[in-house]
Structure 1
Amino acid sequence: MTVRTGDELPPLRIPITRTLIVAGALASRDYQDVHHDAEAAKEKGSPDIFMNILTTNGLVGRYITDHFGPRARLRKVAIRLGAPNYPGDEMVLTGQVTAVAEGTVEVAVTGRNGIGHHVTGKVTAELPTDGPGTGDAPGTGDAPGTGDAPGTGDGPGTGDARKRTTDSPATTDAPMTTPDTPR
């Protein structure tokens, strides 16, 4: 896969359902009643329950890893919420590559719903440059046990993300290639 500054990611359409809103809040241990109790949300001035930021953060991360493949690692997610996501609406995520550096890519992400911009921000991801599973589709060597599973020393919670995080990578407009790039 070759990645260049200016590349646009295909849109991802996400139906906003009550189940998604409530499940996202519960999964992230956000028990605020405005995320699961419509009457309480209305008492607090909202027309209905609404999605929490942690669910939005997860959907933005999914958008990036769905595009760049399961071995892409999120290194920085900086988002801002705008118009709430209410049940019955649809959020459409779009993205554009804003920078490519050695082994990393920065993507400006926008999520729109029927009211306006739900989320805007930038995501920096580290892309694999060698080894199995550098493709962007399942079944390319990314099965559990290939180094991405928790407990293998390079999965979530192992501390390796702190060692590789940088907020100011050098950028270039040169394309970045992976072993999947045709030669």
Structure 2
Amino acid sequence: MREGEELPPLEIPITRTLIVAGAIASRDYQDVHHDAELARQKGSPDIFMNILTTNGLVGRYVTDHFGPDAVLRKVAIRLGAPNYPGDTMVLTGSVESVAVGIATVRVVGENGIGRHVTGTVTVTLPPGGVS
């Protein structure tokens, strides 16, 4: 692993089930995450993914790359374009910095209407790191 290393992209289909299950799992009962009609009444064309689901998917992306012994230390993200059902989000990343046992990864997630998420993830790596 080295600075500038690119992580392979991860395509995530955005389904109604993913959006609703993520909201329920994170105890986010806002109607815009499960009720299409109420979401439309509030100005959204459909339900949309909550930030906690996005946060979890970003963490999964990084730990899938670095392995099960990697530990997330910090996830700092910012949302942009909503994730609506029927779209696909593609996560990409690159290693920004590497220190002894710690890496910082820049992550971007894009969907059909733009950039959904940007941020950085700091991860502690097991002894020996990642090959």
TM-score range, shorter chain: over 0.9
Per the normalisation by structure 1, the TM-score is 0.70
Taking the TM superposition and a 5 Å limit, the aligned residue runs for 1:1-183 are 3-129=1-127, 177-178=128-129, 181=131
Distance 1:39 1:90 in 2: 22
Question: Deviation per CA, 1:52-108, whole angstroms, max 9, x where unpaired?
Answer: 000000000000010000110000000000000000000000000000011000000
**How large is the Cα RMSD of the aligned pairs?**
0.9
Flag structure 1 segments of 5+ consecutive residues without an equivalent. 130-176
The code of the aligned residue for 1:106 comes to T
Structure number having the greater strand percentage? 2
Question: Deviation per CA, 1:153-180, whole angstroms, max 9, x where unpaired?
Answer: xxxxxxxxxxxxxxxxxxxxxxxx53x6
The code of the aligned residue for 2:71 comes to R
Shift of 1:27: 0.1
Distance 2:118 2:109 in 1: 6
The code of the aligned residue for 1:15 comes to P
Per the normalisation by structure 2, the TM-score is 0.98
DSSP-derived class of the 1:55 partner = helix
Structure 1 residue runs of 4+, over 3 Å off? Answer: none
Larger RCO: 1 or 2 (CA < 8 Å, sep 6+)? 2
Distance 2:117 2:36 in 1: 22
The code of the aligned residue for 1:36 comes to H
Count of aligned pairs between the two proteins: 131
The code of the aligned residue for 2:122 comes to T
The code of the aligned residue for 2:31 comes to D
Distance 2:33 2:99 in 1: 38
The code of the aligned residue for 1:22 comes to V
Shift of 1:13: 0.2
Structure number having the greater helix percentage? 2
Distance 2:35 2:4 in 1: 42
Larger Rg: 1
